[in-house]
Amino acid sequence: FSTFKQTAQGGAPLYLQLKKSIEDAVNRGLIGPGDALPSERDIALKADISRVTVRKAVQDLVKGGVLVQRHGSGTFVAPRMERVEQSLSRLTSFTEDMARRGMSVRSQWLDRGLYAPSPEEMMVLGLSSNELVARVARLRIANDTPLAIERAALSARVLPDPAAVAASLYATLQTGGNRPVRAVQRISAANLGEEDSRLLEVAPGVAGLHIERISYLASGKVIEFTRSIYRGDAYDFVAELRLS
Ligand code: 16G
């Protein structure tokens, strides 16, 4: 950044020129995916420009998906996203899907607890008004990239202690003999809202996939009612079609 002022030309606003030089550095591989950007203050000092200018350039690059900002830890070059191709004909869990691809999986808890069920949860899960619903909401992260927000609802009868879910919900269900064997999944388009895009580290308003999964036990009983938001730039859901 120390040479920025000398190379900056009249004409275009400084913040646009700074934006371009950061973009160039990323495109030329001088800074790579996951690399931290110096702090706003350091860039301003080195380039001898105001912090407001730096902030404007950085915010534009965050909006454009070139950089990501993580609360409390700084600004980074966005990880290069390889699209995940996901079969629509096999009933698998997120942990299994990512493990099969050799990706590391972790989750950030957004919510887990027992609640009075909503009318919709009562209907889908077949709960009576005096029963509780277990809600398990997580940000699902693969190879350090947040890919989806999943909000699962189950009967408290099958998941009396939502805090007992460690890495995998399906593994916990399996232990209790409640692994689903069939699911119906509905996928629709959704533009990501403010909160979801912040969690998924993409610009607000970008395309997402809203997925609703209702899973069944072999007995035909509904076990899981999950609503998820997947990053539209990261997922291809693929189904095989046959002439029958
Ligand atoms: C998948 C399912 C989700 C399920 C989760 C369990 C979709 C859209 N959703 O992500 O319904 O709750 O797997 O994953 O595929 P886990 O066993 O790793 O917690």
Is the CB–ligand 1 distance for residue 211 below 6 Å? Answer: yes
Q: Encoding tokens for residue 168?
A: 């995998």
Query: Residue 85: which pLDDT band, with cuts at 50, 70 and 90?
Result: confident
pLDDT single digits (tens) 102-157: 889 999 999 999 999 999 999 999 999 999 999 999 999 998 889 999 999 999 99
Task: Identify the CATH class of 84-238.
Answer: alpha beta
Tell me, in angstroms, the distance from the centre of ligand 1 to residue 94's CA.
5
Q: Distance of CA 53 to CAs 14, 19, 26, Å?
A: 7, 10, 19
Is the CB–ligand 1 distance for residue 225 below 6 Å? Answer: no
Ranges of each domain in the chain: 4-77, 84-238
Residues of the chain with pLDDT > 70: what percent? Answer: 98
Predicted model pTM: 0.76
pLDDT single digits (tens) 40-73: 999 999 989 999 999 999 998 887 778 888 878 8
Give me the architecture of the 4-77 domain, per CATH. Answer: Orthogonal Bundle (1.10)
Nearest ligand 1 atom, CA 171: 17
DSSP code for 13: -
Nearest ligand 1 atom, CA 152: 12
Tell me, in angstroms, the distance from the centre of ligand 1 to residue 93's CA.
4
